[in-house]
Amino acid sequence: MFGFNPKKEKENELRRKRHKTAMMVKDLVSESRSKLGDQITPQSTIGDQFTANMRAFLGDMWTTKAREGIHRMTLNMTGNAIMAMSAIQSDQSYRPSVEPVEIKSGDSPVYLSPKAARIITKHIERNELILDESITDDQLNSSAPLSQNQLEAIEPLTEPWVSGSNMAMPASLEPEDLIEVSDVFLAKQIQQRFNIMWDRAIGDFHLAEHDLYKNIFGHCPIGIEYDEESNSVKLFNANVLDVHIDPTCTKIEDAAYVIFDQYVPIETAIKQYPKYKDQIKKAADNGKFTRSSRSSDEHGTASAMGYSSVDFKRDMVTIRRAWLRDHQYPLPEDEVGGSQFNIIERSAKKIGTTLIETDGYELVTERNDSGEIVETSEIEYGDKDWPVLNGIRQLEIIAEIDEVVSDSPCPYSDIPWGWSVSWPIPYCPYGMGEPLRTQDLSEYINRLGTIIITIAHYSQYPETIMPDELLDHLQKMAGDKGVMSRPGRINGIPSNVWDRFVGQNGTTPILKLERDQLPADLLNFFFKLVELHSELSGNVDVLQGQAPTNNASAKLTENLGTVARGPIKYKAFQTEFTIRRLGRLIIDAMVKFMPPHIWDQMGDEYPPVVMDAIRRGAKSLKYDISVELQAGKGASKIARAEKARFDFGAGLIDRVTALEETGRNAEKIERRFKEQQEASAAETQQMALPFNQSPAQGVPAQA
């Protein structure tokens, strides 16, 4: 009755391990959050700035109530500058470009398009194309690549040619009709599919939002998720308090861990983890997701700005996802195949060992001097000596009850998050938001503005001294509106009161005090602070479209604007770096998860064999991601293009160099230009012949 139950004991052991794992992740959250207590100004920590920056961005600059009689002015220059900077950074599409790292030539398979197969067949039938090596049916059906000899014989058909009668003839084939599955071609195919995925994910919108939040809070985490049901990518900018990162890193590529707290209704959680239905319901019952329950640190979660003001009426739970680097996992069986792996030897000999596949899997435990296998032992997946992979561990935990509901290798090529900062804090993954960085200037601008507005308000009604009896009488007549309800108001009083206080000699006991004049240097100082704020925030006149002088040309203003982007170039570089990372994560996920039929539907239509070659090549292609934002590398690109145009006009560089510097496809343009010249020359030649001379004869008909 009370005997040992191995199965139950194993379940208890697994439960203890899961709980220990959940506690370890909770400790990492506390470790990450401790960094938010670092002081970055005398009055503010990293964590303090998040709420304060949000208020300042929305125009709430004051931390105290106004004294009686003071008329406050709030000039939200910070919010305006942030919006302007975000607009500059999103001045053009965020879409990255896919470029091959190594461009190989001569060893890529080349296939015939259906159009090329038809034209080549006609040339062969008319004896216009003679091949030493005959074209096979498989090659005409695009099921087999061309040989090098065949390709060299066919390639001239892609160039214009001169007939026996000296007539310039157009090319029979376009270069695209010979389908070379090269690195450049593969990069183009990936780019087509990536563009579709990016548009479906509304990538430009999410990156513009990312820039905005980064400028407000100092940093912004952006997540990526591949949905295998819809075969689409989801991008989302998470609340800055919901994502916890390794506090010792400065960029996410070096982070030992990233943890994300997501608050979801229990219905959503049960759909994702039906096996843990009872635990999820228990988690929701333990603490309803309300403002009060989230204000504490009981479960290692924080009351993020996006949720702190929401009093949820639904049952909610916290799904905590953690990505931990440098964890070892058993190699999946489908990746073992017949390959050999060096693994740890059980015996003390520590000889090189090999995993071999027979009916099952066997571990080589001994070899002779010749290297032949002498002894093996059976081994199963998950055993001690099974080969392992060093990768990223992905955990999913119900935070309220510390229940691990998923523990597996991360399916993505890296931690599926992007991370960028606005104004960097040294040796820290966080940044300083614009509202905090410009806080002193904003405060003084609004204080001076308040003084100016208050003086202007009181100048309408100079301070007045009069007898109490007269004041009481005037106040009774004015009622609730007040004696000075508006400038120029006329108040009538009875004659006896007038005679009593004014008298027959025309003197009056009413005394109006002169108001203080607004000092001119105060106004000058106010506008100087406004100018300094614009300069500090990077929102200078030329970026606002204002000419630096009255007679400045539009070209000068444009060029100065390009130079003035310097203050925000670093921020743009951060965004470019994040976009490149997201682009690589998305492409790697597409290659790994996208079914072949979806992959084929998204790009140009090619024969099946070519499509197979594209899919295989995409998995092994070494590529790079290129991004040039208007405020970052784009500004330098614009400057280079302007210089190239000037140098070409001055005869300092040739046309090809000028085209390359302006980002144009010089080879394609030159080929088209050459074709146009040849066609024009042929037309001129035709028109120059006498009306009675045939091009085929080459001599006058009457000779």
Contact 641, 662 (CB under 8 A): yes
Successive 10-residue mean pLDDT values, the chain, 703 residues:
68 84 94 93 90 89 78 85 80 78 70 90 85 88 88 86 67 86 86 91 93 93 93 94 95 95 90 88 64 41 50 84 88 54 37 47 68 68 70 92 89 94 93 90 89 81 74 73 64 71 62 70 88 75 44 43 58 87 92 89 82 82 68 52 71 72 65 68 58 39 32
Residue 598 region by backbone torsions, left for phi larger than 0, else alpha for psi between -120 and 50, else beta: alpha
CA–CA distances in Å: residue 272 to residues 236, 286, 400, 667: 19, 20, 17, 52
How many Cβ atoms from other residues are within 10 Å of residue 194's Cβ? 23
Q: Are 526 and 532 in contact (CB under 8 A)?
A: no
- How far, in Å, are 72, 336, 343, 354, 380 from residue 330 at the CA level? 66, 10, 12, 15, 11
| Beta-carbon contacts of residue 416 (< 8 Å; ≥ 6 apart) | 223, 224, 225, 323, 410, 585
Q: Taking the domains of the chain in order of start, what are their residue ranges?
A: 1-37+256-299+315-331+388-414, 333-386
pTM of the model: 0.74
* Nearest one of 576, 561, 687 to 635, comparing CA atoms: 561
Q: Helices in 359-438 by DSSP H: which ranges?
A: 434-437
Distance CA 174, CA 159 (A): 8
How is residue 616 annotated by DSSP? H
Sign, Cα dihedral of 692, 695, 696, 700: positive
Residue 380: what pLDDT? 67
d(CA 80, CA 427): 30
Tell me how long the chain is. 703
Strand pairing category for 243-245 and 257-265:
antiparallel
Q: Is residue 390 classed as helix, strand or coil in its secondary structure?
A: strand
The rounded distance, in Å, linking the Cα atoms of 162 and 481 is 98
Residues sharing a CB contact under 8 Å with residue 522, sequence separation 6 or more, in sequence order: 448, 451, 452
**Per-residue pLDDT at 39:** 92
Backbone phi, psi, residue 47, to 5°: -70, -35
Helix (H, G, I), strand (E, B) or coil at 52: helix
| The two structure tokens encoding residue 209 | 């939002």
**Cβ(246)–Cβ(255) below 8 Å:** yes
DSSP summary character for residue 690? -
Radius of gyration of the chain (CA): 38
Q: Which helix (H) or strand (E) segment is 112 a member of?
A: strand 110-112
**pLDDT at position 692, please?**
46
What is the C-alpha to C-alpha distance for residues 109 and 99, in angstroms, rounded to an integer? Answer: 19
Confirm if 612 and 599 have CB atoms less than 8 A apart: no
Give me the sign of the Cα torsion angle 526, 528, 529, 533. Answer: positive
The tokens for 193 are 């599919």
CA distance 624 to 578: 14
